[in-house]
Amino acid sequence: MLMTKTILSLMALLFALANGLVAPATSSSSSSNMMASAAALTRDNLVMMPATLEKEKVRTSGPAVLDRPTTDKKSENPRKEHSRTGGETWEVRIYNDGMNTREHVARSLVQVTGLSEMSAYQTMMRAHQDGIATVGKWCFEIAELYNEGLAKNGIISDIVPVDEER
C-alpha cells in the first residue's frame, strides 16, 4: 500500500513538473521535500489521469447502402422458353467435338443417362460419324437433367422439343 502511494506521488510530481505546477528541486538532498510536495499535490490540486488511454473514435457518415442496378434479364437458354407441359417430349442430342475421346463419351452416356454400353457406343459412333446423334427422348425435367450431366462431363449437348406430328 505504501509502495502504491509512493508511485502515485512520484507520478503526480512528474505530471506537475511537466506542466509547470511545481519548480524543480535545486539540491540533491531534497528528496524528502519532493516527496512532501508530491504528497501535497495528490491531496490538494491533482487530477488523476485514467490508467488506460482511450483512442478517439473514428467518425464516419454511417453505413453505406449500395443499390442493385436493374438489368433486363435475358434468357441464357432460348430452348427453355417453350411450354413445358407434362405431355411434351424433349430430345437430348450430343455433338462430335474432337476434344473428348470416344471411350469418355460412351462411358459418360452410360453413367449419366443409364443407357446400356452397346446403345451408348452406337450413339457415340453416330455422333462421331455424322456430327450429331440423338441420345433419347424424355420429359423436359429428365432431358434437362441429362443435358446438365453431360455438360459437367465436358460433352456438348442440347435439348430440343419433339414435334408430336411426325
Counting the structural domains of the chain, the total is: 2
Q: Is residue 150 part of a domain?
A: yes
First to last CA, the chain: 104
Matching residue, cell 460412351: 106
Count of CB atoms situated within 10 Å of the CB of 64: 6
Backbone φ, ψ for residue 131 (5° rounding): 95, -15
Range of the domain at 89: 84-161
Q: Does 111 fall in a domain? A: yes
**Whether the Cβ atoms of residue 15 and residue 49 lie closer than 8 Å to each other:** yes
130 lies in a domain? yes
pLDDT digit string, tens, across residues 149-166: 999 999 999 999 988 655
Co-location of 37 and 106 in the same domain = no
pLDDT in tens, the chain (166 residues): 656 667 777 777 777 777 766 565 555 545 555 555 555 555 556 666 666 667 777 777 766 667 777 777 766 665 555 555 556 899 999 999 889 999 999 999 999 999 999 999 999 999 999 999 999 999 999 999 999 999 999 999 999 998 865 5
37 lies in the same domain as 94? no
DSSP 81-106: GS---TT--EEEEEE--SSS-HHHHH
CATH of the domain at 150: 3.30.1390.10
**Does 154 fall in a domain?**
yes
Confidence (pTM): 0.49
Residue 64 lies in a domain: no
